[in-house]
Amino acid sequence: MTNDQFEIETAEETLRAAMLASDITALDMLIADDLIFIGPDGSVLAKNDDLAVHRSGEQRMTLLQVQEQCIRVSGNVDSVSVLAHVAGFFKGHAFDGRFRYLRVWHKTPSGWRVIAGSVFALH
């Protein structure tokens, strides 16, 4: 395992824990200011959108169990595919299912940051 792969695995676990806890401080550090994220409904979201749903409590995850993770190391920009069982609440509605995430991480002087991503619900 390369050092970059270890760092990405660590960043992914830190992100998972921050998402579960709605830890705005940690999420702010892990997400790039210029994030582009495609939500499960096809909407394009920015960093502020992501932080806002955690801050307001509109999104609350109660389970985020990684079932599969694939990391592609390619220098200062690495990509990760994650299959996870996720449960929680979004805007007052419960959800529970399998989701596929794709995240692009960029190595900055202050650490790895998510610069792009998407999530798809699997049936």
Instruction: Supply the pTM of this predicted model.
Output: 0.94
Predicted local confidence at residue 123, as pLDDT: 77
Q: Give pLDDT, residue 109.
A: 94
User: Buried (b) or exposed (e) across 28-63, using 16+ Cβ within 10 A?
Assistant: eebbbeebebebeeeeebebeebbebbeeeebbbee
pLDDT band at 4 (very low <50, low <70, confident <90, very high): confident
Task: Write the pLDDT tens digit of every residue in 40-82.
Answer: 999 999 999 999 999 999 999 999 999 999 999 998 999 999 9
How far is 47 from 28, CA to CA, in rounded Å?
Answer: 8
Instruction: Give tens-digit pLDDT for 81-121.
Output: 999 999 999 999 999 999 999 999 999 999 999 999 999 99
SS3 80: strand
Number of domain units in the chain: 1
CATH of residue 109's domain is 3.10.450.50
DSSP assignment of 28-80 equals HHHEEEEEEEE-TTS-EE-HHHHHHHHHHSSEEEEEEEEEEEEEE--SSEEEE
Which structural domain, as residue segments, surrounds residue 89?
3-122
How far is Cα 7 from Cα 15, in angstroms, rounded to an integer? Answer: 12
